[in-house]
Amino acid sequence: MNVRILRQLTPTSPTRWEGFNVDVTDDMSIAGLLDHINYNDDIFDDQGNLTTRIGWECSCLQGACGACAMVVNDQPVLACETFVRDLKGSTIEIRPLRKFPVVHDLIVDRSSIHENLTSANVCIESYDPNETGSQAKLVKRQRHQYEIAKCLKCGLCLEVCPNYTNGLTFFGALFANDCYLVAMRNKSKAAEIKALYGEHFGRDCSKALSCMDVCPAQISTISSMAHLNR
């Protein structure tokens, strides 16, 4: 199969597409495919030219850390969770996430995600033991909170968001979900969260909701929005 990868040596180098002919199998993941290309000491492109190892990030290889987020055939995905059998066509096109500055090849600088969350101070301090409501409502709420806690902060939701631009004041779906989590777990922060949610999410979200289509943890951002708005 022909695999095309958008390469960029350093943050300031020009970008270029490089092709590789790879013997793929249906059960190979994109992470496995990148490892396969990087495996040999000498790596050749599809023109027979000697080239360098492809830069990409991974850690868990089981969809739990978010490190391997990238764009494959125009879809923002986790490389370790995306398999060749799920892709259409005879070419695989891989590029880095487009909303973040490129560090090297498929590695991007996503530090703005953490800077945004830290600057807004949305972190859980303690569980509120006085949370009230019927048992059924509590269970439903806690289930949603557990779901949000699975957020990988991988940035795929920001990749597809028509309103997100790195460095601007709109922080995206992962911020809205964390706002809900903090507001529910720490009622003393509710007023502060209300202001932050409005400023960094509520005011600019156009409700395209494509974030929910690509979230590897399948977090229902619209539920968080509904709770927060209420």
Rule CB under 6 A: say whether 97 interacts with ligand FES.
no
Rule CB under 6 A: say whether 218 interacts with ligand FES.
no
Rule CB under 6 A: say whether 2 interacts with ligand FES.
no
Read off the tokens for 167. 């460095």
Rule CB under 6 A: say whether 64 interacts with ligand FES.
yes
Rule CB under 6 A: say whether 28 interacts with ligand FES.
no
Helical residues (DSSP H) of 28-110, grouped into ranges:
30-38
Which of 2, 38, 59, 119 contacts ligand FES by CB under 6 A?
59
Which of 6, 24, 34, 68 contacts ligand FES by CB under 6 A?
68
Residue tagged 């949603």 (tokens): 144
Question: Closest Cα partner for 114 from 68, 162, 153?
Answer: 153
Residue 29 region, left (φ>0) first, then alpha (ψ -120 to 50), else beta?
beta
77 vs 205, which CB is nearer to ligand FES?
77
Contacts of 128 (CB under 8 A, 6+ apart): 184, 185, 186, 187
155 vs 172, which CB is nearer to ligand FES?
155
Strand, coil or helix: 113: helix
CA 222 to each of CA 5, 54, 159: distance values in angstroms, whole numbers, following the listed order: 34, 37, 18
Rule CB under 6 A: say whether 138 interacts with ligand FES.
no
CB of 106 to ligand FES, least distance (A): 12
Name the site residues for ligand FES (rule: CB under 6 A). 58-61, 63-68, 78, 80
